Amino acid sequence: MYVTRPNEQIENFLLPLRARPVQQHHLHHICAGKHLFHEGQTARNIYEVVKGVLRLTRVMADGRRQVIAFGYPGDVVGFHSDDEYHTDCDALLSTTVIVHSRSALESPAGNSALHTKLLQAALHEISAMQDHFLMLGRKSAAERVASFLLTLQERVGMPLGQFTQFDLPMSRSDIADFLGMTTETVCRTLTRLRKLNIIALDRVHTVVILKPEALIKEAEGRD
């Protein structure tokens, strides 16, 4: 958190085990449930998730909510075209981010490699959002939930015996608002997948994928 190091030479001498002096990053920590930024707030930075999970949301005047994305480690959040953030961003878990000044994206001066990396992140974001358009516009409830689980499996799945397991740090209504449906439909769909022995649920927030191929079939709407 914004520690300035008066003399890197000395620090490197004092910490010889750190083979290569890593670039100085502004790290920031967000406790679970706390906000990183709000919609409409003046945007000064973009953030790279290192640990934890962020939730990006947008709400309509009447309270309807859309979860734009979940920010997992490696994701960059906070892109903005004018001077304001366009979403709320809060932490589902205790989360650490690298703080990049918006100028790091806007201009390569200072750090060309970082500029390129952030630009690539933005372009990747565009293509991920295009995928999500198909999800929201054209897929059935069952396909959406199955696709969602497959994405998480790919992203954060851990081996558990012959199966894959991962946590759902978000609530059912977060999932619903991400997939454009209701919590009840998310539940029913998960229950159905559980009864088909395609997945198992452990204490509500842990998923075990039992039959990946069957889940892929569900995601593609094949029967």
3 binds a second copy (CB under 8 A): no
User: Please, what is the Cα angle at 62 between 128 and 173, to 5 degrees?
Assistant: 50
Residue type at 169? P
Task: Between 18 and 34, name the residue whose CB sits nearer to DNA.
Answer: 34
Task: Check binding of 202 to a second copy (CB under 8 A).
Answer: no
- Choose the one of DNA, a second copy, none that binds residue 100, judging by a C-beta under 5 to 8 angstroms depending on kind: none
| CA distance readout (Å), 9 to 5, 15, 149, 208 | 10, 10, 47, 49
Pull the structure tokens for residue 57: 């949301």
The yes or no reply on residue 16 touching a second copy (CB under 8 A) is no
Q: What distance in Å separates the CA atoms of residue 154 and residue 216, rounded to the nearest whole number?
A: 12
124 binds a second copy (CB under 8 A): yes
Q: Does 134 bind a second copy (CB under 8 A)?
A: yes
Contact status, residue 89 vs residue 78, Cβ threshold 8 Å: yes
Task: With contacts defined by CB under 8 A, name the span among 24-32, 90-98, 121-129, 207-215 that binds a second copy.
Answer: 121-129
Interacting residues toward DNA by CB under 7 A: 140-142, 171-173, 180-188, 190-191, 201, 203-205
**Long-range Cβ pairs for the range 61-69 (8 Å, 24+):** 65/177, 66/177, 66/178, 66/180, 67/170, 67/174, 67/177, 67/178, 69/128, 69/178
Tell me which of 25, 138, 155, 205 binds a second copy, using CB under 8 A: 138
Residues 52-81 that bind a second copy (CB under 8 A): 58, 60-62, 64-66, 68, 79-81
Amino acid at 67: V
Catalog residues that contact a second copy under the rule CB under 8 A: 58, 60-62, 64-66, 68, 79-81, 86-87, 105-108, 116, 119-120, 122-127, 129-130, 132-134, 136-138, 177, 179-180, 220-221
